[in-house]
Amino acid sequence: DLSFPPAVLHPLPAALYLPNKFLFTLITVITQSNNMAEEIKRLAPQAVWGYFYDLTQIPRPTGHTKQVTEYLKAFGAKHGLETHQDEVGNVLIRKPATPGYEGRKAVVLQAHVDMVPQKNACVAHDFLTDPIDAYIDGEWVTARDTTLGADNGMGVALAMAALTDDTLKHGPLEALFTIDEEVGMDGAVALKPGFLQGSILINGDSEEEGRLFVGCAGGVDMNISFHYRQDEPAPEGHVVLRITLTGLKGGHSGVDIHLGRANANKLLFRFLKQAVSHCGLRLATVEGGSLRNAIPREAVAVVTVPADRVADVEKLISEHQALYRSEYKGIEGEISFTAERIADVPASLVPEEIQDDLINAIEGCQNGVISMLHDFPGTVESSSNLAKVKTEAGGRIDIKILVRSSSESRREALYSSLESIFSLAGAKVEYFNPYGGWQPNIDSPILRTMESTYESLFGRKPEVTVMHAGLECGIIQEAYPDMDMISFGPDIKHPHSPDEAVGIASVEKTWRLLKATLEAIPEK
């Protein structure tokens, strides 16, 4: 509010006045932000978009979901709905059946509350404190230089809208909001039998309108580490360079893995192998990628090079930039591969034998699509994502790989293959957070209900398929083996990357399908 009473309009010290240009910019930004919030909230269906916008204003990266779960508990209390929270932090809200629908099967609407925190290097955004700057871009809602959080904020918003819409006709309804799905599916893993009462689960974490998902891949995290003594100084006469690879699209390592996008770690180490061999380059530090389930978009290495070979390294970088742009033309944008001289000399280099073993192992590491499903053409069966490579204090290099597969035997075979590569290189290999896949049930009653409902609404049959990305359905089914499950959602492109966007028209269709499905749920 920029209207001040006369009493406060007294002279201030000159140093406290804001420059007119800055003040105008500040007012413009605030005004545009408020206008955009109102524009998003006016989109149809307004309840869904209103709740979704509220979620964009709540910081909720994985591991930091207390604020959003408190918001959901307050939401339940405000609307007089039975609300519970389990020991790990999952929130459950129940809504009684519409009069006359008490005999229908009880339905659980399920979504996860956390989001993937990814941003472009050009923006100073703190995911622990800053709201998402969401805006409308044509037929999509997206965010400025960060992930949007439609994965899975849109699923949460759909469930919230169902809980508060008194025009809906439905049987007993539950909404389960799980925590920390994006890293270890911790909320789903900790879910105990008896917490839920429903016999049907509708998961809202899918990202293609017009497709119904009845299965998903399982996965396992590989944690790999090289250890060494930090007692090797940079050689005399070496120049220190920071080598930076940026401009890649990245994306979801399950949903987008089939697109053939570049992996920043693979590209960087492909260059390092040649630079070590031809230019005498030595590695000091490296940091590529950030999250296990995001395709790495950026990678940085600090290296030393003999002073008389700097020009050769710079030429090699320029050649690799041109090569990468050519190889990924039409897949990636403008890949940037640069080197800059820095003054700070590293205290220690990675020992030469460890450096060579690391580079060779990364070069040999399988990455991307490994096998495809025969029963669902065009769907990935197995994949590997070389998600993160980073030097840590104390003489350690950590590597994280996420292995996914719809086949348990193929997942084990892929894991074993990767383990062999890094073990031969002298690294320590461990695995964590294994989770099983969700096996398809083509005879699912809720599938038949949603298929017929979709066709009656939109005049065509939906596609029924399985997802290569992990969903919580398979894990929840371990605690509730008799629960009938399906997954659906609006169009969300490029989740787990700053290009994430949700299709406006697809949200309206998804909401219509959810309402009609709830009304069509059969008697117990």
pLDDT band at 448 (very low <50, low <70, confident <90, very high): very high
**Burial tier of 329 (Cβ tally within 10 Å: 0-12, 13-18, 19+):** exposed
Amino acid at 181: E
Residues belonging to the chain: 524
125-171: pLDDT as tens digits = 999 999 999 999 999 999 999 999 999 999 999 999 999 999 999 99
pLDDT of 433-447, one tens digit each? 888 889 889 899 999
Average pLDDT for the chain: 93
Q: Which structure tokens are listed for 107? A: 């339905």
504-520 and 46-56 helices cross at what angle (nearest 10)? 120
pLDDT digits (tens, 9 = 90+) for 174-190: 999 999 999 889 999 99
Instruction: List, in sequence order, every residue forming a beta bridge with 332; answer none if it has no partner.
Output: 329
Task: Grade residue 4 by pLDDT with cuts at 50, 70 and 90.
Answer: very low
Distance CA 516, CA 524 (A): 18
> CA separation (Å) from 263 to 218, 296, 400, 411?
22, 5, 13, 21
**Tokens representing 216?**
């998903």
| Cis amide leading into 45 (omega within 30) | yes
- Where does the pLDDT of residue 91 fall: very low under 50, low under 70, confident under 90, or very high at 90 and above? very high
DSSP run (H or E) holding 173: strand 173-178
Q: How confident is the model at residue 16 (pLDDT cuts 50, 70, 90)?
A: very low
Task: Check: CB of residue 425 under 8 Å from CB of residue 228.
Answer: no
**What local confidence, expressed as pLDDT, does residue 10 receive?**
45
pLDDT value at 415 more than 90: yes
Residue 332 has pLDDT above 50, yes or no: yes
- Residues with Cβ within 8 Å of residue 311, at least 6 apart in sequence: none
Confirm if 284 and 234 have CB atoms less than 8 A apart. Answer: yes
Q: Which two structure tokens, joined as six digits, stand for 288?
A: 């590529």
Q: Of 54, 114, 186, 221, which residue is the catalytic one?
A: 114
DSSP code, position 495: T
Residue 196 makes CB contacts below 8 A (sequence gap 6+) with 92, 108, 174, 176, 480, 483
Query: Counting Cβ atoms within 10 Å, is residue 195 exposed (0-12), middle (13-18) or buried (19+)?
Result: middle
Lowest-confidence pick of 7-11, 145-149, 276-280, 478-482: 7-11
* Residue 181 annotated as catalytic: yes
- Note the pLDDT tens digit of each residue in 92-119: 999 999 999 999 999 999 999 999 999 9
pLDDT at 96: 98
Residue 2 has pLDDT above 50, yes or no: no
**Residue 246 CB-half CA count within 13 A:** 10
pLDDT on residue 8: 40
Question: Who wins on pLDDT, 291 or 257?
Answer: 257
Q: What is the 3-state secondary structure (H, E, C) of 403-416?
A: EEECCHHHHHHHHH
The residue-averaged pLDDT of 257-274 equals 97
In this structure, are residues 364 and 420 in contact, taking their beta carbons and an 8 Å threshold?
no
Nearest to 250 by CA among 503, 502, 501, 496: 496
d(CA 175, CA 157): 11
Q: Which H or E run includes 278?
A: helix 264-279
CB atoms within 10 A of CB 50: 18
Q: So what's the pLDDT on residue 179?
A: 98
Q: What number is the average pLDDT over the span 227-252?
A: 94
pLDDT at 470: 85
203-222 pLDDT, tens digit per residue, is: 999 999 999 999 999 999 99
Catalytic one of 133, 151, 180, 181: 181
Cβ neighbour number for residue 39 with a 10 Å cutoff: 15
Mean pLDDT of 290-314: 95
What per-residue confidence (pLDDT) applies to 374? 83
**pLDDT above 90: percentage of residues in the chain:** 85
- State which amino acid sits at residue 162: A
* Cα separations in angstroms, 354 against 132, 347, 357: 41, 17, 5
pLDDT grade for 1, boundaries at 50, 70 and 90: very low
60-84 tens-digit pLDDT: 999 999 999 999 999 999 999 999 9
In the residue annotation, 151 being an active-site residue is answered as: no
> Per residue in 381-410, pLDDT tens?
999 999 999 999 999 999 999 999 988 899
Q: What is the mean pLDDT of residues 249-271?
A: 95
Q: What six digits make up the tokens of 476?
A: 């929840």
User: In angstroms, rounded to a whole number, what is the distance separating the alpha carbons of residues 122 and 114?
Assistant: 24
Q: Could you tell me if 117 and 123 are in contact, meaning their C-beta atoms sit under 8 angstroms apart? A: no
Q: How far apart are CA 498 and CA 146, in angstroms?
A: 4
User: What's the rounded Cα separation, in Å, for the pair 384 and 64?
Assistant: 27
Task: Look at residue 229 and tell me whether its pLDDT is greater than 80.
Answer: yes
